[in-house]
Amino acid sequence: MNRKEIEYKIQDLKADYVRLQHDLEKLEFVKGNLSPLEVQLEWIEKELKLLNEQLAKLD
C-alpha cells in the first residue's frame, strides 16, 4: 500500500471506531450485549496500530 491508501484506510477506520463507540454507549444505556462491539473496537485498534506502523516506515 502506498501512503495515500494507508492514510485513507486510517481515516476510514477512525470513522468506524467513532460510530461503534457511539453504538456502544447506546447499548450500555439500554443494558444490551456489548461484547460484539467491544471485539470490533479491539480489532480496529490493532489495525490502526499496524497501519500507523506502516506509515511510519514510509517516512
d(CA 45, CA 50): 9
Tally of domains within the chain? 1
Single-letter code of the amino acid located at 59: D
Helices in 30-59 by DSSP H: which ranges? 35-58
Give me the pLDDT at residue 53, please: 97
Q: What is the pLDDT of residue 29?
A: 86
30 lies in which domain range?
Answer: 3-58
How far is 4 from 40, CA to CA, in rounded Å?
24
Interval 1-59: pLDDT, tens:
899 999 999 999 999 999 999 999 999 889 888 899 999 999 999 999 999 999 999 87
